[in-house]
Structures are given as C-alpha cells and as structure tokens.
Structure 1
Amino acid sequence: MARLNLEFPDHHFVFETSLSVRITDINAGNHLANDSMISMISEARARFLYHFGIEEINQDRTGIIVTDLATMYKSEAHARDLLRFEVGVMDFNKYGCDIIFRITRPVDGRLIALAKSGFVFYNYTHSKVVLMPERVRNTFEQALANRQHNVG
C-alpha cells in the first residue's frame, strides 16, 4: 500500500488550540495511541467550529457528518506533552469541505501529525446530505481571506 502524504499550505490554518496528552491516552508502546489522537482531533474540530459559531447539529437536526479521516504520524507524543492543533479548511464543494490539522509540540517545535477530515452537511431527520449553508461557507471563506491577507 502506498504511504499517505498530506501537505497543507500555511494560509489555510485559521485557528489553533492546545490539548495535553493524558496518561490514559498512552498505549503499550508508551506513546500517544491512535484512538486517542482521533479523539483529540475531534475535540480540536469541535473547538474550531464553536469558535466560528458553527453548530455541529442545529435545531432542525441538520449538522455535519464526518465522511473520512486521514492521519499521517510524524513523531511520537508522550504523557503530559502539550500539543498545538492548528486547524483550517480547504477543498470546498457544495455539501462541505475538508478540515485540516497540523499537530505540533510547541516545546521543541516537533511535528507530531497531519490530518485531514472530510465532512458534509447532513439532515439527520431525513437521512440525507444537504447543501452547505451559505453562512457557513461565508464564515470559512472570510476566515481564509483574513488569514491570506495577514500572511501575504
């Protein structure tokens, strides 16, 4: 099987948050376990959406649903490491886009992982994919435009 290769332009990252690796996140190899990394990515996604005022599911039972997740591990993380999760968006389509993650350890600048999570908007009542709300698309596009302006 070919190795996964993820590369993301810096200007796509529009948010960051920090999470600590808990002792319960450690596997038998004495480093951050895969399932715990996925949980941390989910928490970073939730914080990202909350920061931009986007509900994961709203009152009419429309919200996001994750369609896929790819993670490329670069280094080990250990108990009590503080990790920085830079979060951004890219690859828009009419139903959703990809949320991207760059996970680093600030104390030494080490890249721990890169991840990409696809999502679409979904109506849970009718069990069907729906168009991305224009407000959400505008929010993300404005965040990217602001980042591009501040970087460039």
Structure 2
Amino acid sequence: MARVQLSFPDDAFIFSTSLPVRITDINGANHLGNDALISMLSEARAQFLAHYGVEETDRDGVGIIVTDLATMYQGESFYPDELRFEIGLLDFNRYGGDFVFRVTKADTGQAVAMAKYGFVFFDYSRRKVAPMPAAFRAKFD
C-alpha cells in the first residue's frame, strides 16, 4: 500500500491555535497517540470555526460532517509539549471541501503531522448531503 503524502501551500493556512499535549494523550510508546492527535485536530477545527463565527450546525439543521481523514505523521510529540495547529480550507466544491492542518511543536517549529479532513454539509432533518451555504463560502472564498 502506498504511503499517504500530504503537502499544502503555506498560504492555505489562515488560522492557528495552540494545544498542550496532556498526560492522557500519551500512548504505550510514551508519545502522543494517534487517537489523541485526531481529537486535537477536532478541537483545533472547532476553534477555527468559532473564530470565524461558524456554527457546526445551523438553526435549520444543516451542519458540517467529516467524510474522510488523512494524516501523515512527521515526528514524535511528548507530554507536556505545546503544539501549534495551523488550519485552512482548500478544494471547495458544491457540497464541501477540505480542512487542512499543519501541526508543529510551538517552541521549536519541529514538524509533528500534516492532516486533511474532507467535509460536506449535511441536512440532519432530511438525512442528506446539502449544498454549501453561501454565507460559509463567502467567509472563505
């Protein structure tokens, strides 16, 4: 199986936040576990959306769902590292696009991971994919 290779242009990243590696994020190999990194990506994405005033689900019941996730690990991280999450949006289509992430150690800039979340908008009342709201697209075009 081919290895996942992710690369994003530097200008794709429009927001950053920092999160600490907690002791509960450490796995049996004594470094940041992949499950913990995925949770941290979700938190960073939530902070990104909140920063831009975007709710995960609007009052009409249309929200963002993740369709796929690709992660490329580049280095280890340990407790109590502070990680910097840079986030952007790419590849818009009628229904969604990609959240992209660059994760580095906040103090050294050492690469930890690159990741991509595919997403679509979903109408929870109809249980169907929905077109991207114009207001969302306008914030990020």
The verdict on a shared fold, with TM-score over 0.5 as the criterion, is yes
> Which sections of structure 1, spanning at least 5 residues, go unmatched?
142-152
Aligned residue runs from structure 1 range 98-109, under 5 A: 98-109=98-109
The superposition leaves residues 12-42 of structure 1 with CA deviations (integer Å, 9 ceiling, x where unpaired) of 1000000000000000000000110000000
Distance 1:118 1:140 in 2: 16
TM-score by length of 1: 0.91
TM-score by length of 2: 0.98
- The residue number in structure 2 matching 1:21 is 21
Secondary structure in 2 aligned to 1:64?
strand
Distance 2:107 2:13 in 1: 20
Distance 1:125 1:47 in 2: 26
Distance 1:131 1:30 in 2: 43
Matched letter for residue 117 of structure 1: Y
Distance 1:81 1:59 in 2: 38
- The residue number in structure 1 matching 2:86 is 86
Secondary structure in 2 aligned to 1:17?
strand
Distance 1:11 1:47 in 2: 19
Secondary structure in 2 aligned to 1:103?
strand
> Which sections of structure 2, spanning at least 5 residues, go unmatched?
none
Distance 1:49 1:106 in 2: 21
The structure with the largest helix share of the pair is 1
Matched letter for residue 87 of structure 1: I
- The residue number in structure 2 matching 1:110 is 110
Moved over 6 A (4+): none
Give the deviation of 1:106 after TM superposition. 2.1
The size of the alignment, in residue pairs, is 141
